[in-house]
Structure 1
Amino acid sequence: MTLPPPLALTMGEPAGIGGEIAARAWAALRESGPAFLFLGDVALLPGIPTRTVTEPAEAAGLFREALPVLPLPLAAPVRPGRPDARNAPPVIAAIERAVALALEGRVGGVVTNPIQKSVLTAAGFRHPGHTEFLAALAPGDGPPVMLLTAAGLRAVPVTIHQSLRSAIESLTVERIVAIGRATAAGLRQDFGIAAPRLALAGLNPHAGEDGTMGTEDRDIVAPAVAALRAWGIDARGPYPADTLFTPQARAGYDAALGMYHDQALIPVKTLDMHGGVNVTLGLSVVRTSPDHGTALDIAGQDRADPGSLIAALRLAAELAAHRQRRECP
């Protein structure tokens, strides 16, 4: 039987917990899979057997015995919790190499360990974050969309890494419609949901209560819902955000759209802080990531929980399988 292509896992910030959780994820998945290879410096992988490979195809056959590593040596010694900008180039190179392998079909998808954006920026990195960099490397047909998922909930923030004041000012009908359409397309392509149901949260308390608590929901969100429905998408709302994430409400939609970052992310992290996964929809490759940061404060202390990375690897394999089935009916 032909084995599916392995996943590519990037090393992330070397001074963080990426290497630790990669090692623990391999120990947890070595028997069941999915198989993955680590793109980075082998010195970051403590206490497990590793095997250097030159081709991803080698990874699946030896995954049970050792973690396959496509080596990208670091430029400076690693001190846990203390990032060094000299190591930024190989961190960036790991992302670029992983995406290139996915575009060539040599890996099934890309799973990214967390990066320390301030360190990369100091070394000349010109992208706001992972998502924007990946969108430049592997653009799809629409805008890239950040989707967070845990415990059966999928949530998408319409505005992401900006102040709340800036998020409100940038909220437009056109933006909501673009994110909604890209979300529906991603749910079809990557999650295999034929007719996605979207629920849109209101921006204001009680979804504005007919304009008495702010007019944005009446003038921006509601017209966006109507426009999405005109595109043939089952979109509903705006709903009061304080009741949108109850178990009863979650049963009625496939993804919720929050109008700003925390509105979408707080419910996901509350439901499962250690099992949440960040998915980028709208790329030409599959990409997932743990839903946490570099954890510099606990790096090197043998305390890192690999649960979110394990979930990200498993989900990446599922999404890759959905894409393959769509391409080869």
Structure 2
Amino acid sequence: MSKPVILALTAGEPAGIGPELCLQLAGEEREAGIVVVAAMPLLSDRARQLGLNVELHHWQPGDLAETRAGHLSVCHVDGCQTTVAGELDPANSQYVLTTLSVAANGCLNGDFDGMVTAPVHKGVINEAGIAFSGHTEFLQELCGVERVVMMLATEELRVALVTTHLPLKDVSAAITPERLTQVTRILNADLKSFFGIERPRILVAGLNPHAGEGGHLGREEIEVIEPTLEQLRGEGIQLTGPLPADTLFTPHWLKNADAVLAMYHDQGLPVLKFQGFGRAVNITLGLPIVRTSVDHGTALDLAGTGTADAGSLHTAIRVGQHMARCRRANNAGESA
């Protein structure tokens, strides 16, 4: 029998809905082995507050992860202060970052097959005097990689981004041949290694309306995007585009695609979130580890009420498990 997949699940901001989403997982038997990386008292206190009967088990490297209903494995992390659901406390910021480090390092050394992240609150971490721009950048630095790619996915659609959190006025200058080449290569390689797609088919959106309309609505397609895509096709990458974004996201094109590459954040993600908000997953490509996340924030107003929807977390776990299995199979094939 093959070794079961074990995913680390960071509980995120202690005052948010992350801890209770983790506890909700214990409501039924699970296929994936999940180890929650969090402070044990935080989870036990939130379980009492919500009236959840969950038995928490201290987990150590080498242990199997609990999959039984009513049970949850926990990799305990110290440093969480007394927490009131819905009330942020900057004193917990270093603890939150420690949970990410524990999970990521556990993936790098083989204790975990991947990590899933519940939402953190970037604002309160920065208020604590710690420069933090997000999970993605934190994990990029920890893993020591030059470029990462943000991709959101549902069961039916995958959308990766060339640029992410930039003002619109800065997007055009950021789309360079170098960046577009790096992002496309990472997307193509990780669709193979993490999703088991032998020859990925990628649709590429243009930057301008009508993909520039032959230069009448902008020249980025002519001067940067088209030449770069042609060079990448020479490497054997299957690319279609640049296509106008307003027609790319139609069944005619999507039915023959494994992923869409959008030029900027609000070009691709509104479509995906309309199509599957609450069951989408945020994936970081370009890392040497599997990392998925929920598609929502900390929802402080819902924390402690027991009404938070765990749909996106379930999707993130399913996708993380699939990615971990594909990566394991790919590595086994390479070493055979």
Q: TM-score range by the shorter chain?
A: over 0.9
Question: Are the structure 2 counterparts of residues 216 and 2 from structure 1 closer, same or farther at C-alpha, using a change threshold of 3 Å?
Answer: closer
Find the aligned partners of 1:86 and 1:59 in 2 and give their Cα distance.
Answer: 32
How far apart are 1:22 and its partner, in Å? 1.2
Partner of 2:187: 183
Contact kept in structure 1, 2:116 and 2:317, CA below 8 Å: yes
How many Å separate the matches in 2 of 1:90 and 1:151? 33
Residue 301 of structure 1, CA deviation: 2.2
Give the counterpart of 2:106 among 93, 96, 101: 101
1-side partners of 2:293 and 2:262: how far apart?
Answer: 20
How far 1:232 sits from its partner (Å)?
Answer: 1.6
Residues in 1 aligned to 2:53 and 2:250: alpha-carbon distance in whole angstroms: 42
1:38 aligned to which of 29, 36, 41: 36
The partner residue of 2:258 within 254, 257, 264 is 254
Matched position secondary structure for 1:209 = helix
Q: Report the more deviating stretch, 55-64 or 167-176.
A: 55-64
Q: Deviations over 1:60-84 (max 9, x none)?
A: 3564441111122444221222211
Which piece of structure 1 moves more, 265-274 or 48-57? 48-57
CA distance in 2, matches of 1:178, 1:260: 15
User: What secondary structure does 1:147 align onto?
Assistant: strand
Deviation at 1:31, TM superposition (A): 2.0
1:4 is the counterpart of 2:9: no
Structure 1 position 90 matched with structure 2 position 90 = no
Give distance in 2, aligned partners of 1:299 and 1:32.
Answer: 24
Are the counterparts in 2 of residues 139 and 284 from structure 1 also a CA contact under 8 Å? no
Which structure 1 segments of 5+ residues have no match? none
Match of 2:152, SS? strand
Evaluate the alpha carbon distance shift between residue 139 and residue 252 of structure 1 in structure 2; reply closer, same or farther with a 3 A threshold: farther
Report the counterpart of residue 18 of structure 1 in structure 2.
18
* Maintained 8 Å contact 2:202/2:261: yes
Aligned to 2:161: 157
Instruction: Give, as a single letter, the amino acid of the residue that structure 1 aligns with 2:180.
Output: I
Q: Equivalents in 1 of 2:240, 2:232: separation in Å? A: 9
Are the aligned partners of 2:151 and 2:284 in contact in 1 as well (CA < 8 Å)?
A: yes
3-state secondary structure, aligned to 2:65: helix
C-alpha distance in structure 2 between counterparts of 1:14 and 1:328, whole Å: 38
Letter in 2 for 1:39: V
- Matching of residues 202-241 of structure 1 within 5 Å: 202-241=206-245
Offset at residue 280 of structure 1 (A):
0.7
The answer to which of 52-61 and 144-153 deviates more is 52-61
What CA deviation, in whole Å up to 9, does each residue of 1:110-155 have, x standing for no partner?
1011111111122243342111111122245x62111110131110
Rounded to whole Å, the distance in 2 between the matches of 1:265 and 1:48 is 37
Q: Give the alignment's Cα RMSD to 1 decimal.
A: 1.7
Q: 1:131 aligns with which of 126, 131, 136?
A: 136
Q: For residues 243-294 of structure 1, give each alpha carbon's deviation from its aligned partner in whole angstroms, at most 9, with x where no partner exists.
A: 1111221112111111100112111111110100011111111100011111
TM-score by length of 1: 0.94
| Structure 1 equivalent of residue 330 of structure 2 | 326
Q: Is the 8 A contact 1:208 1:214 kept in 2?
A: yes
Q: Give the conservation status (yes or no) of the 8 Å contact 1:36–1:59.
A: no
Describe the SS at the equivalent of 1:278.
strand
Structure 2 residues not aligned, in runs of 5+: none
Asked if the contact 1:5/1:57 (under 8 Å) is kept, the reply is no
CA distance in 1, matches of 2:297, 2:317: 16
Q: Which residue in the other structure is 1:117 paired with? A: 122
Q: One-letter code of the match for 1:31?
A: E
Q: What is the aligned residue count?
A: 326
Could you tell me which amino acid in structure 2 is paired with residue 291 of structure 1?
D
The alpha-carbon deviation at position 159 of structure 1 amounts to: 0.5
For 1:216 and 1:61, the matched residues in 2 are separated by 52
Q: Deviations over 1:180-227 (max 9, x none)?
A: 111001111100111111111011111111011111222222122112
TM-score with structure 2 setting the length: 0.92
Report deviation, 1:230: 2.0
Aligned pairs (5 A) from 1:168-317: 168-317=172-321
Tell me how far apart the structure 1 counterparts of residues 282 and 5 of structure 2 sit (CA, whole Å): 21
